[in-house]
Amino acid sequence: MKDLHEEIDSNVKRALAEDIGAGDLTASLIPDGKELTADVISREDAVLCGVQWFEACFLTLAPETKIDWLAGDGDWIQADQKLCEIKGDARALLTAERSALNFLQMLSAVATQTKRFADVIAGTKAVIVDTRKTLPGLRMAQKYAVKCGGGINHRLGLYDGILIKENHIMAAGGIGPALRKAQEIAPPNVFIQIEVESLQELQEALTAGATMVLLDNFTLNQLSDAVALTRQQAGERVILEASGNITLQTVRQVAETGVDRISIGSLTKNVQAIDLSMRFE
């Protein structure tokens, strides 16, 4: 597993290669060696995220580039706010501009949407959790953005957590057999979570020793009943997570049922980029 710095380097190199190809034809209009200064401005209120990806786009092409930030990852920024000033080789700035802004706009969007959900459930015991419904090749980046927005990460991939879903249960022969097999094969410190679709399945999971249960597409009444059943039989030993078509309009009601976690696939799947612009002086 790459660390964050390795992931940023990999993300940025792929993005630049995709955009530049054999060379930036338009940037060749600029005299070689010319230096420019540019400002990045936010056009809307948002949570800033992606500073390291943004910087890496410019520094990869021109290591002498100077970037002075007036805000950092996780900061709430406002429309028309100046975020940073960039000074450096004009060709490099123009070539890296689009890739750099793409990262900053996308990651700020994920962080901003996460904060919206987190703010709505403030004061409850629940936390907002992401999923594996991420943009291909950008999972670690998007999960970093979720944390900047006040959420927490679920498993990064198929290798660092076990989530037993409907098809796994069917193939394994039932909830009990699936859980027992998972308990046999799970490496140390790897969590085991099982998805259930009814109170009857929840009861089976609790009887089989589940410690982490995903309540999939439960109604509000079913979620409340699931919390009551679980606390009665297992106390706080079992972590309950609600999932399935949860929106900003419904998430508070879901949190108030007493679940521990609420997973939201749209945080990383349905991304509407934050409007940022880069203007040269």
| All structural domains of the chain | 4-118+271-280 (3.90.1170.20), 121-269 (3.20.20.70)
Residue type, 269: K
Annotated catalytic residue within 87, 132, 133, 269: 133
DSSP state, 187?
Answer: P
Distance between CA atoms of residues 247 and 120, nearest Å: 11
Catalytic residue among 165, 181, 252, 269: 165
The alpha carbon of residue 94 and the mean position of all alpha carbons in its chain are separated, in whole angstroms, by 28
The answer to whether 147 is a known catalytic residue is no
Q: Is 165 a catalytic residue?
A: yes
Q: How far apart are the first and last CA of the chain?
A: 41
Residue from 98, 125, 180, 279 carrying the catalytic annotation: 98
Give residue-wise pLDDT tens across range 261-271.
999 999 999 99
> Which residues, other chains included, contact 207 with Cβ-Cβ below 8 Å and sequence gap of 6+?
176
180 a catalytic residue: no
Taking phi over 0 as left and psi of -120 to 50 as alpha, with beta for the rest, 73 belongs to beta
Q: What percent of the chain has pLDDT over 90?
A: 97
269 is catalytic: no
Which residue out of 39, 75, 216, 225 is catalytically annotated? 216
133 noted as active-site residue: yes
Whole-number pLDDT of residue 261:
98
pLDDT digit string (tens) for 50-80?
A: 999 999 999 999 999 999 999 999 999 999 9
* List of the chain residues with pLDDT < 70: 1-2
Give the pTM. Answer: 0.94
Among the listed residues 7, 55, 195, 204, the single catalytic one is: 195
Query: Across the strands, what pairs with 196?
Result: 215
Written as one letter, the residue type at 85 is: E
Closest Cα to residue 169, out of 219, 200, 205? 205
